Amino acid sequence: MTRSKGTQAHSDNSAVNASITPSPITSAGESLIPEISPSRQPAWNNPNALTPAGPQGHESLALERAKASFDVNELTLLLHGKESLEQTAKVLEVCENDPVFNKDNFFFESRTERFKGSMERGKHIMDICRERGWDDKMIWKFFTIVDEPGPLFLHFSMFKPTLHGQCDDAQKEKWLPLADNLNIVGCYSQTELGHGSNVQGLETTATYIPSTQEFEIHSPSLTASKWWAGGLGRTATHAIVVARLILGEKDHGTHTFIVQLRSLDDHTPLPGITIGDIGPKYGYGSVDNGFMLFDKVRIPRENMLMRFARVEPDGTYVRPPSSKLSYGTMVMVRANIVDNAATNLARATTIATRYSAVRRQFTNPEASKNDALVAQQQQPVETSVLDYPMQQHRLLTRIAQSYALRFTGNAMMVLYNNLMADLAVGKISALPEVHATSSGLKSLTTDMASAAMEDLRRSCGGHGFLKNSGFPEFIADYLPNVTYEGDNYLLTQQTVRYLIKTFGALKKASAHKIDPKTLTQTTRYLLPATSPTFLTEKWPVVAAADLTNETIVKAFAHRAATMVATLAADLATGTQTWTGAQVDINAISKAHCQFVLVENFHLALATDLKASTSPQLHAVLTRLFKLFALDLIQQDIGSFTPYIHIQPQAPIVKQSIRTLLTELRPDAVALVDAWNFSDYFLNSTLGRYDGRVYEALVEAAAREPLNVGENFNVVSGYEEFYAPLIKAPFKAKL
C-alpha cells in the first residue's frame, strides 16, 4: 500500500508542519518529542509568539498513539481497502496543492459567495478528471474529500442513476452520452411544496395529448410547485420530473419524465417554466435547491422514462411487470445512507477524541494515573479530558457505534448485490425483507449518527461551537439525512408492517414444520416467538462472564420478537388499531433494527473478521461490539423486561460497560486515526492530527474578516453607530 503525504491521517503528517518532527515513542516514560512549536512566530494577534501552557498537543497525541494495542494500519486497510485508499491519496494530493480547493475561507463566505465558489470547484473537478481520464468514481472521491455538496452533486447521485435505472434502451442511447459528457446537467425533481412523504399525493400532471404525441406538464396549484430538488434552482438544464400520468380521464399515478428546463444556448428558463432557488437552509449553502412551476409545458412522448411502464403512441397504457422492480435502487441508496452514517459519526469521533486527548481541565490524580506526561512533570499538570470516565463513556460508545454502523453498511451492500442478482433472474422473494429492514435501518442509523454528532460537538465544550471546530457546518449538512429518502418516523411503519405480516405467516405455519433453509434473518428470530413458552424465557446471565456475544444478541432478538408478537396480538384482538399504534410501531422498528445491527456485527466478528484480522485487532473489535450492544441495552433496559431482570442483571451490564471502557481507553486515539481522515478533509482546528489545537484556533481567528483590512484597527460601523453613543454628553441615569 503506497502512502502519500497527508493521505494517512496516522502516517507522518508532520511534513506539512515542517518544524514538528514526531519521533516514535519507545517507552512511556521517555521524553517524547522535541519541544519545537511552529507557532513561535510573532504575529499581529500573537505579538509575543506565545505557546500553549502545559504539555503540548503533539506530545499528548504521540503518547496516545504509542498506547494502541493493535496495528492502526491493519484497521485502516480493513475499513477502506487498498484501492480506495490509493484513490483517496491521488485526489487528496490534488486538493491540498490547488488553491481552488483551499478551504481557508469556507467559514467566512456568504451563501452567494460560497455558491459561486462551489460552481468554480465543480468545474475544476470536471476539468481535472477529464484531463487525467478519471471516471465518475474519482469525481465522487473529489466531492467527498472537498466535502461540499455542490450544484453538480445531484447530476451524479440522482439524475444519472435514474436514467440508468428507468430508461429503456433507446432512451439510454439518447440521454446517457449527453449526461456523461455533461452536455446536459440534470437534477431529480419529485418533492413538491405540499407533498414530500406522500409521493402518491403529488399534484403535478403529465397529460397525454395523442394528437401531437406529447405530454403536457402542468402545475395546477401553488402546492404543486416542485420544491427542494438540488441543482434545480440555478444549474440544471434538464430534470427528471415525477408527475401524475393522465390518459384521457384516467389518473395512472406518478411516473417519471425527462424535461428540458433551460436553453442550452444561454441557460435562460424555457417558456412556461418558472424556476428559482428556494433560499437559505440550515446547511447545504453550496447547493441550489430549487422550485419550479409548469404552465402547460409540452414534451415529446419519448420523454416518459419507459423501462417499466409505457404509453403507446395512441395513448394505451402498458403496466410494468412488477411495481416493485424499482425498489432495488432504493435499497442501494439506503445502504449508502447507513454507510454514510458510519463515516460521518466516525468523523465526529475523530475531532472529539483528538481534542479530548489534547485538552486538559482540572487536576485529578485518580483520573490521570496512567498519563506519563503528568508523572514526568514537577508541578501539577491538569488531567486530559479523555481520562475522565464521563468523557470516555461519551466518546467510546460513539466510536463503537461508528464501527457497528460500518459493518452493517457492509452487510447491506452484500444484501443489495444478492438482491440485484436475484432480480436479474426474475426472483423477487427477498425484496420485501430487504426493503423493510433497509427502511428501518435508514431511520435508526441516521437518528443515531445525528444525535451522536451533536453530543460529540458538545463534548468539545465551547470551542465546539466555533465553525472552525469542523462541527457546525458538517452537522448542518448531515441533518437532512433524517428527513430525505423517507422521513425517519414514517419509514418505521414500512418496517413494522412487514414484521407483522411475516409473524402472522410464521404463526399460521408453525403447526407444520418450517424448512430451516427458507429462514431469513428476520424469520429466524421471529419464529421462536410463535411458541407459547417464549414469553417466559429468561436471560441466562448471572455474572459478567455470561455476557457472551451470543447471549447479547439473544437479548435483542427476544425483545424485538416480543414486541412484534404483542402488537400482532393487539391488532388481532382489536385492542389497538394500526393508526393508533404509531408510537409503538416506531419503538418496534427501532428494536428490530438494533437487533439487526447487533447481529450483523456479531456475524462479521464470527466469520469475515475472524478470518481476516490479527488476534489483537479482533480482540479490540470484539470489545467495540460488546460496548455497542451493552450500551444500547443500558439506555433502554426497561424495554428488555421481563426477559432481562433489572435486578440483578442491570448492575452486571453496567459493570461490564465500565470494564470495557477501561480496556478500550488506550486504543481511543488509534481507533479514530484508523478512519484515515486527512486534516484537509476534516478542516477542523480541534481535530488536527498534530494536536496544534490552540495555535490553529488563534491562526483561524486572525483571518476573520471583522479583524482585517478596513476593520483592522476599528471595525467599520463604529464611527456611524457607536461613536455617537459613546461620545454623547454625560447625562444622569436614564
| Residues labelled catalytic | 485
Q: How far apart are CA 439 and CA 492, in angstroms?
A: 7
Return d(Cα 701, Cα 680) in angstroms, integer.
18
Determine, following the binding rule CB under 8 A, whether residue 87 of this chain makes contact with its own copies: no
Which of these ranges, 141-149, 425-433, 665-673, 726-734, lies near its own copies under the rule CB under 8 A?
726-734
By CB under 8 A, tell whether 225 contacts its own copies.
yes
Rounded Cα–Cα distance for residues 280 and 645 (Å): 50
HSE of 7, CA atoms in CB hemisphere, 13 A? 22
For residue 269, the SS3 value is strand
Closest CB 532 distance from its own copies, rounded Å: 17
C-alpha cell at 515: 424448512
Q: Please answer whether residues 186 and 257 qualify as being in contact, where contact means their C-beta atoms are separated by less than 8 angstroms.
A: no
Least CB distance to its own copies at residue 490 (A): 9
Tell me how far apart the alpha carbons of residues 211 and 223 are, in angstroms, rounded to a whole number: 30
**Does the annotation flag 122 for ligand binding?**
no
Which of 462, 516, 532, 615 binds its own copies (CB under 8 A)? It is 462
List 46, 207, 260, 336, residue binding its own copies (CB under 8 A):
46
Interaction between residue 315 and its own copies (CB under 8 A): no
Locate 299 and state its grid cell: 414534451
C-beta closer to its own copies: residue 319 or 654: 654
Site string for its own copies, 399-438 (x = CB under 8 A): ----------------------------------------
Applying CB under 8 A, which part among 48-56, 70-78, 515-523, 541-549 lies near its own copies? 48-56
Q: Is 480 in the site for its own copies (CB under 8 A)?
A: yes
Task: Calculate ∠ Cα 88-125-186, nearest 5°.
Answer: 115
Judged by CB under 8 A, does residue 361 bind its own copies? Answer: yes
Q: If binding is defined by CB under 8 A, does position 511 make contact with its own copies? A: no
- Positions 159 through 188 that interact with its own copies (CB under 8 A): 176-178, 180-185
Question: Parallel, antiparallel, or unpaired: how do β-strands 310-311 and 317-318 relate?
Answer: antiparallel
Q: Which amino acid is at 412?
A: M
Name which of 81 and 651 has its Cβ closer to its own copies. 651
Long-range Cβ contacts of 476-481 (<8 Å, 24+ apart) = 476/282, 476/283, 476/284, 477/149, 477/283, 477/284, 478/283, 478/344, 478/449, 478/450, 478/453, 479/282, 479/283, 479/450, 480/283, 480/284, 481/337, 481/340, 481/341, 481/446, 481/449, 481/450
Which residue's CB is nearer to its own copies, number 481 or number 613? 481
103 scored as a contact of its own copies (CB under 8 A): no
Q: Which H or E element spans position 446? A: helix 431-458
Nearer to its own copies (CB atom), residue 106 or residue 308: 106
Count of residues that interact with its own copies, criterion CB under 8 A: 161
Return the number of the residue (34 or 642) whose C-beta is nearest its own copies: 642
- Alpha-carbon span 594 to 555, nearest angstrom: 11
- 379 near its own copies, rule: CB under 8 A: no
Cα distance between residue 695 and residue 329, in whole Å: 46
Nearest approach, Cβ of 577 to its own copies (angstroms)? Answer: 6
* CB of 175 or CB of 675, closer to its own copies: 175
Residue 471 in the binding site for its own copies (CB under 8 A)? yes
Residues in region 696-725 near its own copies by CB under 8 A: 697-698, 700-707, 711, 713-718, 720-725
In the bound state with its own copies, the residue whose beta carbon lies nearer, of 98 and 120, is 120
Segment near its own copies (CB under 8 A); pick from 60-68, 288-296, 402-410, 556-564: 288-296
Residue 42 touches its own copies, criterion: CB under 8 A: no
591 in Cβ contact with 559 (< 8 Å): yes
Tell me how far apart the alpha carbons of residues 22 and 32 are, in angstroms, rounded to a whole number: 8
Give the position of cell 425517519: 488
Instruction: Cite the DSSP H helix spans in 576-614.
Output: 582-606, 608-612
The minimum distance between CB 713 and its own copies, in angstroms, equals 5
Strand partners, 254: 244
Does 36 interact with its own copies (rule: CB under 8 A)?
Answer: no
Instruction: Please report whether residue 646 would count as binding its own copies according to CB under 8 A.
Output: yes
Cβ 164 to its own copies shortest distance, Å = 13
Q: Which helix (H) or strand (E) holds 285?
A: none
Helix or strand or coil: residue 257? strand
CB of 479 to its own copies, least distance (A): 7
CA distance readout (Å), 261 to 20, 115, 219, 220, 620 = 54, 20, 15, 18, 54
Considering only residues 539 to 578 of the shown chain, the ones binding its own copies according to CB under 8 A are: 577
- Is 373 or 609 the residue whose CB approaches its own copies more closely? 373
* Residue 72 or 482 with smaller CB distance to its own copies: 482
Single residue of 8, 303, 401, 468 touching its own copies by CB under 8 A? 468
Least distance to its own copies from the beta carbon of 120, Å?
6
Q: Which of residues 228-267 bind its own copies (CB under 8 A)?
A: 228, 233-235, 237, 264, 266-267
- Tell me how far apart the alpha carbons of residues 56 and 690 are, in angstroms, rounded to a whole number: 10
Is 81 annotated as ligand-binding? Answer: no
Do residues 51 and 70 touch, judged by C-beta distance below 8 A?
A: no
Tell me which of 77, 108, 315, 504 binds its own copies, using CB under 8 A.
108
- By CB under 8 A, residue 19 contacts its own copies: no
Sole binder of its own copies in the list 246, 247, 325, 476 (CB under 8 A): 476
Q: By CB under 8 A, tell whether 479 contacts its own copies.
A: yes
Among 38, 54, 320, 432, binds its own copies (CB under 8 A): 54
- Helices marked H in 359-430: 372-376, 389-424
Q: How far is the CB of 86 from its own copies (least distance, A)?
A: 20
- Binding flag, residue 100, its own copies (CB under 8 A): no
User: Could you say which of 293, 381, 395, 604 contacts its own copies (CB under 8 A)?
Assistant: 293
Report if residue 734 touches its own copies, rule: CB under 8 A: yes
d(CA 157, CA 8): 27
Q: Which residue number, 7 or 37, has a Cβ lying nearer to its own copies?
A: 37
Choose, by CB under 8 A, the member of 19, 23, 31, 112 that binds its own copies: 112
> How many whole angstroms separate alpha carbon 271 and alpha carbon 277?
18
389, 414, 548, 614: residue in contact with its own copies (rule CB under 8 A): 389
> Which three three-digit cell numbers place residue 437?
429492514
* Residues 354-383 as b or e (16 or more Cβ within 10 Å = b): bbbbbbbeeeeeebbeebbbbeeeeeebbb
Cβ atoms of residues 92 and 680 within 8 Å: yes
Determine the interface stretch with its own copies among 15-23, 250-258, 356-364, 591-599 (rule: CB under 8 A): 356-364
Q: Which of residues 116-145 bind its own copies (CB under 8 A)?
A: 116, 119-120, 122-123, 126, 129-130, 133, 135-136
Indicate the annotated binding residues for FAD. Answer: 191, 230
